[in-house]
Amino acid sequence: MRVFIGYGNDLRGEDAFGIDVIKELEKYELEETKFISIFQLTPEIVLELLDYDEIIFIDACYSLDNQYSLACSIKKQNSSSLTHHIFPENIIAILNGVYGKYPKYQIISMLTNKFDKIYDHKQYHKVIYRAIDYIVELYKYKSKNSLQYNILVKKRSYND
């Protein structure tokens, strides 16, 4: 079984990327899949993940240079300040070290340098749909209505 965890603050514009992707993914019929939308990663989430053999984390990530790009398995940001934020790797380390669980995991992030609001709605939604398309293709999911998915994909144009 797999679980998708979208996290971020839906009151802070682009920081809601993970939550917005989960909202879209919920429209698909994904067998043996659970969706979790949360404000931030905390150690307590580990208890909900014990029975999953695959975990996909979805979030917005700071990047000075690459706005509205989709990235997978990005490097952790170095921070000299103490924060309340923990990384997906910390969650995996707890699963490994404390519970002896070794799920496969992946991180899907939208790179941005603005978190307080959505500055370019068109670009923001393009990245959401790119993430959905990537996930659907990766896992070969079928929509509850296959025609609906095909229509959605055909309507999207990534004029990059």
Buried b (16+ CB within 10 A) or exposed e, 3-39: bbbbbbbeeebbbbbbbbbbebbeebebeebebbbbe
Longest dimension (CA), the chain: 49
Rounded Cα distance, 155 and 80, in Å: 44
Higher pLDDT: 116 or 148? It is 116
State the chain's mean pLDDT as an integer.
80
Closest CA to 1 of 39, 36, 38, 44: 36
CATH code for the domain of 15: 3.40.50.1450
Q: Is 46 within the bounds of a domain?
A: yes
pLDDT tens figures, 76-108: 554 444 444 689 999 999 999 999 999 999 999
Q: Give pLDDT, residue 73.
A: 56
Indicate the range of 11-15, 129-133, 149-153 predicted with least confidence: 149-153
Q: Is 110 within the bounds of a domain?
A: yes
Q: Is 133 within the bounds of a domain?
A: yes
Q: Is 130 within the bounds of a domain?
A: yes
Q: Give pLDDT, residue 27.
A: 87
Q: Are 7 and 19 in contact (CB under 8 A)?
A: yes
Q: Is 25 within the bounds of a domain?
A: yes
Domain count, the chain: 1
Q: The domain containing residue 41 runs over which residues?
A: 2-155
pTM above 0.75, yes or no: yes
DSSP line for 96-114: HHHH----EEEEEEEEES-
Q: Is 140 within the bounds of a domain?
A: yes
Q: Is 160 within the bounds of a domain?
A: no
Q: Are 71 and 127 in contact (CB under 8 A)?
A: no
Q: Is 92 within the bounds of a domain?
A: yes
